Structure 1
Amino acid sequence: MPDYEIYSLGDFVLQRGATLRDAKLAYKTFGKLNAKKDNVIVFPTWYSGQHVDNEWLIGKGMTLDPAKYFIIIPNMFGNGLSSSPSNTPEPYNKSRFPQVTAYDNVRAQHQLVTEKFGVKKLKLVVGWSMGALQTFHWGAMYPDMVERIAPFCGSAKCSRHNFVFLEGVKAALTADSAWNNGWYDDKPEKGLRAMARVYAGWGFSQAFYRQELDLKALGHSSLEDFLVSFWEGFFLPKDANNLLTMLWTWQNGDISDNELYKGDFKKALKAVKAKAFVMPSRTDLYFPPEDSEFEVANMPNAKFLPFESVWGHFAGGPGTSPNDVKFLDGKLKELLAS
């Protein structure tokens, strides 16, 4: 039995013009919605992750305690549970699955929150990586609804450098002849393994590798063991078309790319009314702290609170670095108490 529920969005018109017919949004909830419906936290998923991959930040004794809050984890389009290339019937199956933006994801989540649960205010939206991208979108798209946001190790707009990194990931995956332009019967295993090794040089920092934390902290027996067991093992179970759908969403992430802000990035940032704790990792190679400093400088009610960590992007998740988890949990507690 699945540990999540499905919300039917109906025929969902996407920002780029296609329609996902009978679109599905998979989600999981923790805790109970109170009578005032004012204890709601939304915690979107990240690139390739599913709701279970967010559960490390939820629990008794944590700030995101189901005894206090009603926590909704909506799964991104393309992650294999919500509407995705791997589960959508013809004709929009496999490589014909349409382009989906972060704007589309958050519109779908808003429909779930307002129509399914009748919620009008969100106490907090929080997310890591692409979850942070969606968190920023919540703040910009629904400024009167969202009271607080905590995007960590992510950005409000995909930078040019980040876009180029993702081109390398995409090229490694699609170079496998088994890829067959997305019409594969057997998974492009060589491409997935190559993609994993490209990712391995970026997910953790130079200092992480210099200090051999792959061995000392994560328990691998050698660098090669880490590359195969951790990284190749991470990507091999995932569907290639799903990964490419979410990669396109990431590359085209931009809170101002919509009719609300018409490409004016500073205007979109200034529109975020929520109290914001923006938490980059000091050593993140995807989302450097300079990008977060620019975002915070243009948001009316934001603080810049970096992880002082050598864990790179993985300072933010998924629960890999215990000291960084403590820092994050403490800042979320501070934000929710404010």
Structure 2
Amino acid sequence: MTTSVRRPCVLLSVLLGLSLGCATARPQAASAPLETSAPLVAQEADAVFTGHRFQDGTVLPEVRIHYATLGTPRRGASGAVTNAVLLLHWTSASGDVLRSKPFQDALFAPGRPLDATKYFLIFPDSVGHGRSSKPSDGLRTRFPAYGYRDMVELQHQLVTQTLGIRRLHAIVGLSMGGMNAWQWSELYPDAVEGVMPIVSLPTRIAGRNLLWRRFVSGQIRNDPEWKDGLYTAPPRGWLEAFPVFRMMLDGVPHLQAALPDAQAADAFIATARAQAAGMDANDVLYSLESSRDYDPEGALGDIQARVFALNFSDDEFNPISLRTLETLMPKVKRGRFVVQEGSASSFGHFTQAHPELWAEQVAAFLKFLEEG
């Protein structure tokens, strides 16, 4: 069961930090110069799902999923919506970041690849994030230990039950959102025409990515100031872990250029600590550990949607030296991928937050969909 309350919101710029085929391509700016445009007006609402059961067996009386939309649904001869695109955010962020001015100008403004006058764009806050239900609302460590599948199931309920959309034209997901996109294509093969996972891989989280998550989780859980989630101030373990968290998001060439001396490095650490102080440690802990159930590799051959995967060569979370996409993408019936080359002016994994560097790849994805 769902209820929904809608309200308009003018899109303003927000910080792009954390609230939190087989081709190689160099970073590309959009084909035309980006111009400042008037802020797009979104509709925001909360969908409330009653008696929802999570994968760990926990049932909450109500689960709130906050979301926003841009554009107008268009319907085909059958009455079904034909232009819906779901946009999924990364870990510890929310849909707000994907509606910020850089994303608007690079992707959603008139003439851009996901022109909001052409597409109906949907921006949910995944469970555990943003203004959706999350541990910091009050339950703290009594909140369900949600996984990525829980995220996707609630996204699907939002799309199908609340918005009444049987089939999405596309999903564009970034990092965690990219992994959610892979899951959508397997769990709901008839519910989406094409997916574009960005800075994510279609295999379980292991290696450097797993170590990073376990390190940060351990720094929180093993800190006496965490107090089993009942802290009254940000645990020091979390404040000390976040500079490493933030460093891993950036690109090696970029950090080499941006941090030439100890003073610059100390400033980076101080800024990261200040940012961490504004984040809730339990929310971060849950979001990092929610990836435990992610492993789409075994069902790649069953995917019916067109898949256009985009990664960056300077992404330390998804090292290109592992050749994961080269190995696994042939299993996808209608799949392509691009590894875009990084540089001192890109940002590693966090190039995802600079859509002007990859907007042309979104255009290529949409053209790929038209081929079908």
Smaller-chain TM-score bracket: 0.7 to 0.9
State whether residues 307 and 327 of structure 1, in contact with CA within 8 Å, keep that contact through their aligned partners in structure 2: no
Question: Which 5+ residue runs of structure 1 have no aligned equivalent?
Answer: 216-220, 256-264
C-alpha distance in structure 2 between counterparts of 1:83 and 1:16, whole Å: 16
Matched residue SS, 2:137 = coil
| Mapping of residues 110-129 of structure 1, within 5 Å | 110-129=156-175
Alignment equivalent of 1:300, drawn from 310, 333, 338: 333
For residue 290 of structure 2, what is the amino acid of its counterpart?
Answer: T
Name the structure 2 match of 1:227. Answer: 269
Alignment equivalent of 1:87, drawn from 121, 124, 137: 137
Name the structure 1 match of 2:312. Answer: 281
170-179 or 18-27, which moves further after superposition?
170-179
Name the structure 2 match of 1:241. Answer: 282
TM normalised by structure 2 equals: 0.78
Post-superposition CA distance 1:185-221 (Å, at most 9, x none)? 2222x233212111133112322222x1468xxxxx8
Name the structure 1 match of 2:223. Answer: 176
Name the structure 1 match of 2:19. Answer: none
Tell me whether 1:318 sits opposite 2:362 in the alignment.
Answer: no
Tell me how many residue pairs correspond in the alignment.
314
The two structures, once aligned, show a CA RMSD in angstroms of 2.2
State whether residues 192 and 235 of structure 1, in contact with CA within 8 Å, keep that contact through their aligned partners in structure 2: yes
Name the structure 1 match of 2:199. Answer: 153
C-alpha distance in structure 1 between counterparts of 2:295 and 2:137, whole Å: 27
For residue 180 of structure 1, what is the amino acid of its counterpart?
Answer: K
Higher relative contact order (CA 8 A, sep 6+): 2
| Mapping of residues 1-338 of structure 1, within 5 Å | 3=9, 4-36=44-76, 37-55=81-99, 56-58=102-104, 59-60=108-109, 61-88=111-138, 93-161=139-207, 162-188=209-235, 190-210=236-256, 212-213=257-258, 222-229=264-271, 231-255=272-296, 265-266=297-298, 268-289=299-320, 290-310=323-343, 311-315=347-351, 317-319=352-354, 322=356, 324-338=357-371
Instruction: State the identity as a percent.
Output: 25
Post-superposition CA distance 1:101-140 (Å, at most 9, x none)? 1111111111111112211111101111000011101111
Post-superposition CA distance 1:82-112 (Å, at most 9, x none)? 1110115xxxx10111111111111111111
State whether residues 173 and 191 of structure 1, in contact with CA within 8 Å, keep that contact through their aligned partners in structure 2: yes
Name the structure 2 match of 1:262. Answer: none
C-alpha distance in structure 2 between counterparts of 1:326 and 1:305, whole Å: 13
Which structure shows the bigger proportion of residues in strand conformation?
2
TM normalised by structure 1 equals: 0.86
C-alpha distance in structure 1 between counterparts of 2:217 and 2:264, whole Å: 27
* Cα deviation, residue 8, structure 1: 0.7
State whether residues 95 and 130 of structure 2, in contact with CA within 8 Å, keep that contact through their aligned partners in structure 1: no
* Cα deviation, residue 309, structure 1: 1.1
Change (3 A) 1:234 1:140: farther
